[in-house]
Structure 1
């Protein structure tokens, strides 16, 4: 039997991107960021959320494929080693996907594969690969020390 998992679907520049629901701690409306002294690619700034300082990332910039120009929401991603904010254009909501149906031919970087549903191509995020990608660009600990 196929395993169906809950995914949170967002849009980055109009493209649907699906995150495992277990990775997302919360979704918050976009808010002004504090600038970061770092010139790290993809780091948009810092935000204080309930007493916790988070680096806010632009995953498109990290991949060199543009940027999230007008984010509406921030996903708070809860990685085993860190917690970061991720800028997104739009949050579509929760969907259930069967990972058995995933096509891994277009996998690469932080995308573990794609799924097509109702003529839409969803890119499925690999949390471990995304965390590694973000770690290459910033060490959140060093950013927090500079405040």
Structure 2
């Protein structure tokens, strides 16, 4: 039996994004993080989740979106990576969906970013495929 990889769909600004589910530990309602002194740009702070420290990043910073275009960022998507736990602050999490075998990448010139993998169309809606794993793994 063929296994289909799943992704979690979230919204930030005017666009919908989808991130592979395999490294996502959980989705939390937004909670204000404690400031992290000397942290990288885009890091909002730290929260404790079940005894683990989670570095919370602004999703708008990760995807080069003007924060003024985003409504209140209401959820934190927690990634479980070999380098630690990272939370990405997003507006809303909508659903889990199947990922396609291949992605459309030709139309991505309008915004290139290391986290963006390509796009997919699902029921007439455009989704931007992202993966924050490599970016988060470079933070210290």
Kept after mapping to 2: 8 A contact 1:73/1:90: yes
Query: Which residue is 1:23 aligned to?
Result: 23
SS where residue 113 of structure 1 aligns? strand
Q: TM-score, normalised by structure 1?
A: 0.79
Structure 1, unmatched stretches of 5+, are 140-147
Match of 2:96 among 74, 94, 98: 94
- RMSD of aligned alpha carbons: 2.1
Superposed displacement of residue 39, structure 1: 5.0
Q: Distance in 2 between matches of 1:124 and 1:80?
A: 21
Q: TM-score, normalised by structure 2?
A: 0.82
Q: Distance in 1 between matches of 2:3 and 2:120?
A: 14
Q: What is the 5 A alignment of 1:54-133?
A: 54-67=54-67, 70-100=72-102, 102-105=103-106, 106=108, 108-126=113-131, 130-133=132-135
Q: Which runs of 4+ in 1 moved over 3 A?
A: none
Structure 2, unmatched stretches of 5+, are none
Q: How many residues align?
A: 133
Kept after mapping to 1: 8 A contact 2:19/2:130: yes
Q: Distance in 2 between matches of 1:97 and 1:56?
A: 25
